[in-house]
Amino acid sequence: MTEYFRNDVLIKRSYLRLEWCKEALDHPVRKEVQPEDQRIRHWIFAPELGRYLRVVTLEDGATLHNAFPGRRFKP
């Protein structure tokens, strides 16, 4: 995980669980590359949140950079 993820995202969004992020990387509902920076978005439905979670990794597809509930995601 990036320093930003560790020091900002996990603190600001304390409800996030690392197992959700891992599940999103292992079994995403959808996965796409951001054209502007080649980071990869992974989505998974988090029943505890009642919505989809977007997990963003660096280009390597493994280093966690950001995660947040998706507001407009449609599978």
Query: Would you say residue 18 lies in a domain?
Result: yes
Question: What does the alpha-carbon distance between residue 30 and residue 6 come to, in Å, rounded to a whole number?
Answer: 24
Identify whether the C-beta of residue 29 lies closer than 8 Å to the C-beta of residue 18.
Answer: no
Residue-wise pLDDT tens digits, 11-53: 999 999 999 999 999 999 999 999 999 999 999 999 999 999 9
- Answer yes or no: is 43 within a domain: yes
Residue 58 falls inside a structural domain: yes
**Domain interval for residue 41:** 3-69
Task: Tell me the pTM.
Answer: 0.92
Q: How many domains are contained in the chain?
A: 1
